[in-house]
């Protein structure tokens, strides 16, 4: 992932130093696990731990240099590690293991920790949405369907629905974490032919991963589920971002992204304040979503393993984790600094001449005894006249002799309080989440 969209803490999970550090720990724990069942001498396992090299840039360089000879990254790593430990004890490193035992266990460990970072960011995202929803519970605005004025709602109700969706994303992340926090050290085709299950259990217990049956590789549906959780997060952030982009348009201007002192919206036009965060988030969602498709294609491997998934995962797993985490944090900052313009929201609501109350008028006419189709045609005709001629919808209804309901009935139909009287049902759902 390019530095622009990376964070130090997520980078540390996936970079070469972080990856090789986990490989090292898996190798050392496996050696100690072998010692615990009497395969490796206890003293030799202790020496391996004591002489284990520090994983730093110099170590990474040695492994990469060795890989030019082995053309195999794990074999190169093991060669450098055994050389650092020295003979004869170093010969026990990687004893009974196949490379994927180390790689898949370490990768699952990385993905678990990456998910923990995303869950922390998700918690803050949900809290921020919840606060914004409650702050604007009664901030009246027009609801839009197909981009056209529909009926009144509140900005808080809109945000509350985002919050509930973000909470479902958090549940998906938790489930993905449970299914990726696993390990396998069962050998070439997963039959424990050269390593005992007790070693796998020893390693898993030490690093908090659950041993599961596998072939030479962990089943890739687990990784696809992780990618789905990332893509779901990205889709929710995109939902928020697209809505805010629409609401910030000059013709609407119901919200606006925060604008820092010294910030420039355009190199050419000094008046511009563009929704750059929301647009960036919309774009990044496309990347995360596309990675999910590649992850699903990684599920079907040949027989007990092939490496067609490996090259793909080196890109899509860290990138999806980085981007989902980045998007959660950036969208949280965007919402925390969002400017909301309640007066403009009301102005926009009334700009369509009261047409947004057409449905309660229709229902009032039906209740008075008109057929639904007749009532619909009467209301529609007046609505079109109001829009085309810039006339007040209520005034046209009052002057229409076909309408026999009282002024009080029409008053109720045009009452914002009536339209929003049950909005609390949406907010009741927020009480169930933290």
The yes-or-no verdict on residue 274 having pLDDT over 80 is: yes
Q: Average pLDDT, stretch 93-114?
A: 97
- Asked if pLDDT for residue 160 goes beyond 80, the answer is yes
Residue 100 has pLDDT above 90, yes or no: yes
The greatest distance separating any two alpha carbons of the chain, rounded to the nearest whole angstrom, comes to: 104
Residue 264 scores a pLDDT above 90: no
Give residue 141's pLDDT: 97
Q: What are the strands, taking DSSP E only, across 227-324?
A: 255-256
Q: Containing H/E element for 152?
A: strand 148-154
Q: Is 309 a catalytic residue?
A: no
- Spatial distance between the Cα atoms of 334 and 339, rounded to a whole number of angstroms: 10
Which pLDDT score, from 0 to 100, does residue 219 have? Answer: 97
| 126/170 Cα distance (integer angstroms) | 9
Mean of per-residue pLDDT scores for the chain? 96
Nearest by Cα to 328 from 159, 169, 434: 169
Mean pLDDT on 336-344: 97
CA dihedral (34, 95, 179, 212) in degrees, to 10, reads -70
Is 146 catalytic? The answer is yes
Q: Is the pLDDT of residue 263 over 90?
A: no
DSSP string, 249-277: STTT-SEE----TT--S-SS-TT----HH
Residue 306 has pLDDT above 80, yes or no: yes
Q: Give residue 270's pLDDT.
A: 80
Query: Among residues 193, 266, 347, 404, which one is catalytic?
Result: 266
pLDDT (0 to 100) of residue 218: 97
pLDDT at 60 over 90: yes
Q: What share of the chain is helix, strand, coil (3-state, %, to 5)?
A: 65, 5, 30
Quote the DSSP letter at residue 391.
-
**Cβ proximity of 58 and 113 under 8 Å:** no
User: CA 238, CA 243: separation in Å to the nearest integer?
Assistant: 8
Q: Give 138-151 pLDDT, tens digit per residue.
A: 999 999 999 999 99
Catalytic residue among 6, 46, 136, 146: 146
Query: What domains does the chain contain, in order, with CATH numbers?
Result: 1-95 (1.10.275.10), 99-193+207-254+274-352 (1.20.200.10), 355-413 (1.10.40.30)
> Confidence band (pLDDT; 50, 70, 90) for 1?
confident
């Amino acid at each position: 992932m390019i530095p622009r969209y990376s964070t130090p803490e997520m980078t540390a999970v996936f970079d070469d130093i972080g990856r090789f550090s986990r490989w090292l720990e898996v190798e050392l724990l496996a050696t100690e696990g072998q010692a615990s069942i009497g395969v490796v001498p206890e003293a030799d396992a202790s020496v391996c731990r004591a002489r284990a090299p520090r994983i730093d840039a110099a170590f990474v360089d040695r492994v990469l240099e060795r890989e030019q000879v082995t053309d195999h990254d794990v074999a190169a790593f093991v060669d450098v590690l055994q050389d650092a430990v020295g003979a004869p004890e170093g010969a026990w490193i990687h004893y009974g293991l196949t490379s994927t035992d180390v790689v898949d266990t370490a990768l699952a460990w990385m993905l678990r920790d990456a998910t923990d970072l995303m869950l922390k960011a998700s918690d803050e995202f949900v809290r921020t949405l919840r606060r914004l929803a409650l702050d604007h519970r009664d901030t009246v605005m027009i609801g839009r369907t197909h981009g056209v004025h529909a009926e009144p709602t509140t900005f808080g109700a809109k945000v509350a629905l985002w919050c509930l969706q973000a909470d479902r994303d958090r549940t998906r992340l938790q489930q993905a974490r449970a299914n990726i926090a696993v390990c396998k050290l069962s050998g070439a085709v997963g039959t424990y032919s050269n390593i005992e299950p007790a070693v796998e259990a020893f390693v898993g217990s030490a690093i908090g991963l659950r041993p599961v049956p596998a072939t030479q590789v962990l089943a890739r549906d687990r990784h696809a589920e992780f990618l789905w959780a990332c893509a779901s997060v990205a889709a929710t952030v995109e939902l928020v971002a697209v809505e805010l982009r629409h609401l910030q348009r000059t013709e609407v201007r119901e919200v606006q992204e925060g604008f820092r002192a010294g910030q420039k919206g355009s190199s050419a036009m000094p008046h511009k304040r563009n929704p750059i965060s929301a647009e960036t988030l919309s774009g990044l969602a496309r990347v995360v979503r596309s990675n999910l498709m590649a992850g699903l294609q990684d599920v079907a491997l040949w027989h007990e393993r092939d490496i067609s998934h490996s090259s793909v995962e080196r890109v899509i797993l860290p990138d999806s984790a980085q981007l989902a985490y980045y998007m959660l944090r950036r969208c949280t900052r965007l919402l925390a600094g969002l400017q909301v313009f309640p007066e403009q929201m009301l102005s926009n609501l009334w700009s369509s001449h009261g047409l947004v109350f057409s449905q309660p008028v229709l229902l009032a006419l039906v209740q008075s005894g008109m057929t639904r189709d007749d009532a619909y045609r009467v209301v529609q005709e007046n609505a079109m006249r109001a829009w085309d001629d810039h006339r007040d919808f209520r005034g046209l209804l009052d002057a229409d002799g076909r309408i026999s309901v009282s002024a009080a009935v029409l008053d109720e139909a045009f009452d914002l309080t009536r339209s929003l009287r049950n909005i609390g049902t949406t907010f009741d759902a927020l009480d169930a989440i933290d």
